[in-house]
Chains A and B, each alone.
Chain A
Amino acid sequence: MVTINSSDQRARLIGIFTFLGGIYFFLYFVLPESAISFIGVKDRHEAISNGFIVIGAMAIGLGLFNLVSAHGTRIVFKKIGWVYSLALITGLVCMLGVTSAQWLQSLALSAEQQRSQIISEFAQRIIDDADKTTATLTVPALQVRVDALKLYGFEHLSVLETKLLGQRGASSLLQHELQKNIATVREKLAQLDAVSWGELSPGSATLLKEVVTSGAKFSVARGAYLREAAATTTVQQLYTLLYEGFFNQLGSAMFALLGVYIAAAAYRAFRIRSVESALMMAAALIVMLGQISFGRMISDDMPALRQWLLEVPNSAAFRAIRLGAGVAGLMLAIRMWLSIESRSFSAGKKR
């Protein structure tokens, strides 16, 4: 009698999902568009892709958990180097806190900007809906919608103008630009009174399109204004300090260390000990001299020689390495896809 234990079942389930996921993406890539549409997957692919992307993003929690548990233990039990662990956790908490606050602030800014976008989006929607047959669409009458657009537009612009009087933070140039756009949108909305809105004629459609265009420019200007005003807030300044001031600069500094290490490696390790190393050295010198400004002082043909080295011997070698690694990767990927695992990859002993 064969008993199937739970770990076998789990492995089988994982294997099935792995196979289905792999075959879906492979066939989607390889099969022609007509076949994809015939199966009915084309319209759903975007949603499926987004699902996979979201699952990948969930991994962020794993790293956080490991960091906190490993370094937290060190701090609590005051093991060797606990001060550095404390510094790490403090940095982590600070960055998380400031980024969360900045994210909430940007959400609020986006919501504010979207209120301004409604004018252009609604005007565009009126034009789009009028193109469709009225039998398939249940919407209020055109006149009602245009009146609603005007009402919202004028009200929003008035509120905004009042706010602008008391607001500080953004530059006067941006404020001027925004006020100019507000005036333009107001003018375009006022022009909507000039026609009757029984049905959408080419003339009235043009007026609405002008509202769309001016409304789009207005919301871009509003967004720029809001962002510049937000740049002076404490949250944004802290975020800029931590991200651009510390994080980016530290990354650049670490990358710059490479220059020092290359210099050290150049002195220590680039020794001519054999024919092969002599060839390698000659190639390296030609490529370097061919690329720099001073190479021409030695010979005008340096760049051309460098070009030949890169196009012929180098390409041959790189192609060979890439082909080999690519084929090996393909085989391993097939093994992963078919869940043909070796004993190396599991916690327990396999039969």
Chain B
Amino acid sequence: MILAVGIPVFLGYSRPPSRLVSAERMYEVMAKTEFKPGEVAMVWLDFGPGTLAENQPQAEVILEHLFRRRVPVVLLSQYQQAEVALQRVPREVAKRLERELPDQRWSYGEAWINAGFRPGGAIFIQALVNASDISKFLGRDVTGMPITQYPNFAAIGGVERVKLVGEVTGLTGVFDTIIQFFQKGGYQPTVVHGCTSITIPEAYIFLDSGQLKGLLEGIAGAAWYSEVLKQHYPKSDNTKLLVVNTALSAAHLVIILLIVIGNLVPLYQLLRQRLWGSHG
């Protein structure tokens, strides 16, 4: 297993990812959602070190797309261990974009703000949705600065001005809370979700019912999304992501091989007993 994962990573070997329709649909949704001046996207990074491997690439592609579109992003989390992700992911995406486009800047306070970990789960989300001004409700960001001091986030207003909600998580129950409570009379946000491979089956029921408009299915979803992004922004660099996706694919092959061997061995023993057992 170590070899299967390690060889592509060390050699930098990558293969084109599998085409995932859900990721393509998500791209269309993210590209077509209109943001008027003052409107924002709210992205929840509810993952920690455990699911970082799958969720971080998803967060990166979502933020990359929003940053390219110059959509102001409010980042926050319901998970206390997401602190590292909240700080690191947008910075890395911003640096990558600035390397690609040296004449442009994506800086904290303009492209995004980090509202940090907010405890309370469903209670907090209900209060957020019912607030008349989200900027004032959220109060200060993690740097201690009042959110109303940032021009792009100064007067977000009510939740109707949050046009897109992104939820990137591998935790159970957290995504459900967004679907259930991040809405009110006359307002339903466009919700997109980045999930781990384990929770893909569960996310599909919401995709099918229309409660979810886009889905990134594990690293494979993030990899295909990055390929679609690359078609529209050719200079976008997704090499690292494709290498990781290839390594994961190799690990899947090892598991398939083990399943096949696990079935062939008893079959062989059974056949041997039936064919030669009576002579023994």
Interface residues, chain A, with chain B CB atoms under 8 Å away: 25, 28-29, 32-33, 42, 45-46, 49-50, 52-53, 56-57, 109-110, 113-114, 117, 120-121, 124, 212-213, 216-217, 219-220, 223-224, 227, 244, 247-249, 251-252, 254-255, 259-260, 262-263, 266-268, 270-272, 281, 284-285, 288-296, 302-304, 307, 310-311, 314-315, 318-319, 322
Contacts and interface: CB of A to CB of B under 8 A. Distances in A.
Nearest to B126: A29
B37 interface: no
A112 to B, nearest CB: 9
Contacts of B217: 291
A223 B131 CA distance: 28
A315 B17 contact: no
Given A110-B144, A314-B201, A266 B49 contact: no
Contact of B259 (A56, A267, A311): A267
Interface of B: 1, 15-22, 48-53, 81, 84, 108-109, 119-120, 123-124, 126-127, 130-131, 137, 143-146, 148-151, 181, 184-185, 197, 200-202, 204-205, 208, 217-218, 220, 245-246, 248-256, 258-259, 261-263, 266
A291 B218 contact: yes
A251 B49 contact: yes
B249 A311 contact: no
Judged by DSSP, the binding face of A is helix
B262 A223 contact: no
Given A285-B256, A288-B256, A216 B18 contact: no
Contacts of A322: 202, 205
Contacts of A314: 201, 204
Given A117-B145, A291-B252, A268 B262 contact: yes
B119 A49 contact: no
A336 to B, nearest CB: 16
B252 A121 contact: no
A259 B245 contact: no
Choose among A42, A227, A292, A307 the residue with the greatest number of B CB atoms under 10 Å from its CB: A292
A57 B80 CA distance: 12
Choose among B21, B49, B258, B262 the residue with the greatest number of A CB atoms under 10 Å from its CB: B49
Contact of B123 (A33, A49, A295): A49
A213 B250 CA distance: 52
B18 A296 contact: yes
Given A49-B127, A266-B258, A267-B258, A294 B149 contact: no
Contacts of B202: 318, 322
Contact of A263 (B81, B250, B254): B254
B49 to A, nearest CB: 4
B204 to A, nearest CB: 5
Given A267-B258, A310-B201, A315-B205, A217 B20 contact: no
A288 B255 contact: yes
Nearest to B132: A42
Choose among A216, A268, A281 the residue with the greatest number of B CB atoms under 10 Å from its CB: A216
Contacts of B120: 49-50, 52-53, 56
Nearest to A209: B151
A114 B18 CA distance: 50
A293 B16 contact: yes
B198 to A, nearest CB: 9
B109 A217 contact: yes
A271 B123 contact: no
A212 B148 CA distance: 11
Contact of B201 (A110, A303, A318): A318
A113 to B, nearest CB: 5
B208 A252 contact: no
A266 B259 contact: yes
A281 B17 CA distance: 23
A311 to B, nearest CB: 6
A113 B21 CA distance: 47
A251 B48 contact: yes
Given A290-B18, A294-B15, A310 B204 contact: yes
A161 to B, nearest CB: 21
B184 A319 contact: no
Contacts of A25: 123
A251 B80 CA distance: 14
Contacts of B84: 244, 248
Contact of B52 (A32, A50, A252, A262): A252
Given A270-B259, A270-B263, A219 B15 contact: no
B145 A223 contact: yes
Contact of B252 (A56, A251, A268, A288): A288
A223 to B, nearest CB: 4
Contacts of A33: 130, 184-185
21 contacts: A121-B146, A213-B151, A216-B109, A217-B109, A247-B49, A251-B49, A255-B49, A255-B50, A260-B1, A262-B255, A266-B258, A266-B259, A288-B255, A291-B20, A291-B252, A292-B248, A293-B18, A293-B245, A296-B18, A304-B21, A307-B21
